[in-house]
Structure 1
Amino acid sequence: MNDSRTRLDKINTRIRNNPVLSLLLAVSTLVIGLSTFTNATRNLLDLFSGAEQRPAISGLWQAQVSYDWPNAHYQERFDFAGSDRQLYGSATFTGSPNGILEGEIAGDILRFITKTPESLGSGPVQETIHRYQGKLIGDEIKFVMQTEGGYSPHVPVEFTAKRTGNPPLQPAAN
């Protein structure tokens, strides 16, 4: 008895004769098809809606900041760079540049911290943390900065940074 059926015919017969296997294959095909369709649809919607596009904040910004102690008015500079949700660069505090730490962007909101040393007379130096939160509105960023640590408590400081015409910070080449 020579079976003239091909290997594909034999597999097809086994699948037809096993209803559990047939159902499993049908459900698997349906799940894979729905998953592919759902991902493709989501990607198309993101493409047309511009979802998760990084706002154009890279470059130099300046702000006139009045801090909460007497005669404390400084022209502060912000140099922003990054990609996707990452934000890095520098921000001045009382005119001294500090690296941006824990920087992130979500929509038109940006958050980051800087750290500065604070000393009082001959006492030990204490670390001060400045937490910035800003909202991008056109070519302005409305900031609130809260200072923590140091020798004295501080109230939140509000100010507006404006874009300057200088080129953006470029990452160092490796």
Structure 2
Amino acid sequence: MSDSRTRLDKINARIRNNPVLSLLIAVSTVVIGLSTFTSATRNLMELFSSAEQRPAINGLWQAQVSYDWPNADYQESFNFAGSDKQLYGSASFTRSVNGILEGEVVADTVHFIIKTPESSGSEPIREAIHRYQGKIVGDEIKFVMQTEGSYSAHVPIEFTAKRSSNPAVQPAPTPN
């Protein structure tokens, strides 16, 4: 007479009849489960802990900017605020304070735009767009600013903004 049990049935019968083997399989299953859970938890924690922190750029910054037209040296102010990647605040252009648009901080770079009105004689007023991109290095931001949409072509302007050591200093008011 042949044994009608399958190979799987035979293995199950041996495990049930051998308590040491049953205990070994149960303990192994628990160890593998804990190891997998611990490894997954560690990987998840590393993911959150290795996320880059936003540089501490909130506050007032000052820069001496030489624009690309004659006698165009201005002390400009940048007042940054925000959290995570978000950046808002104000930036002066020829001492006129403007709101920051489309601002973002990613790792050690910052970029934003400001818009200013520009006129030329009897021509209608145009909106010039100034795009700023900066690299944060300690208490300095090395900027490149490019202008588009104005009446004349402009080359990119490079300058360095430094954190203001005097928190009472405010951006210059708009001249009348």
- Flag whether TM exceeds 0.5 (same fold): yes
Unaligned 5+ segments in structure 1 are 1-29, 170-174
Number of corresponding residues:
137
Of residues 43, 46, 59 in structure 1, which corresponds to 2:45? 43
Q: How does 1:154-173 map to 2 (within 5 A)?
A: 154-165=154-165, 166=167
User: Which residue identity lines up with residue 42 of structure 1 in the other structure?
Assistant: L
Answering whether residue 136 of structure 2 is matched by residue 133 of structure 1, we say: no
User: Contact 1:59 / 1:167 at 8 angstroms: preserved in 2?
Assistant: no
Q: What is the CA–CA distance in structure 2 between the aligned matches of 1:152 and 1:36, rounded to whole Å?
A: 62
Task: Encode CA deviations 1:28-81: one digit per residue, 9 max, x unaligned.
Answer: xx9xx968853652323542x4x2201000000000000000000000000000
TM-score w.r.t. the length of structure 1 is: 0.72
Aligned residue for 2:114? 114
Aligned residue for 1:82? 82
User: Which residue identity lines up with residue 94 of structure 2 in the other structure?
Assistant: T
Q: What is the CA–CA distance in structure 1 between the aligned matches of 2:121 and 2:54, rounded to whole Å?
A: 44
RMSD: 2.5
User: Which residue identity lines up with residue 83 of structure 1 in the other structure?
Assistant: S
User: Which residue identity lines up with residue 41 of structure 1 in the other structure?
Assistant: N
Larger radius of gyration: 2
Counting aligned pairs with the same residue, the percent is 67
TM-score w.r.t. the length of structure 2 is: 0.71
Q: What is the CA–CA distance in structure 1 between the aligned matches of 2:140 and 2:123, rounded to whole Å?
A: 39
User: Which residue identity lines up with residue 135 of structure 2 in the other structure?
Assistant: K
Aligned residue for 1:142? 142
Task: Encode CA deviations 1:127-147: one digit per residue, 9 max, x unaligned.
Answer: 000000000001000000000
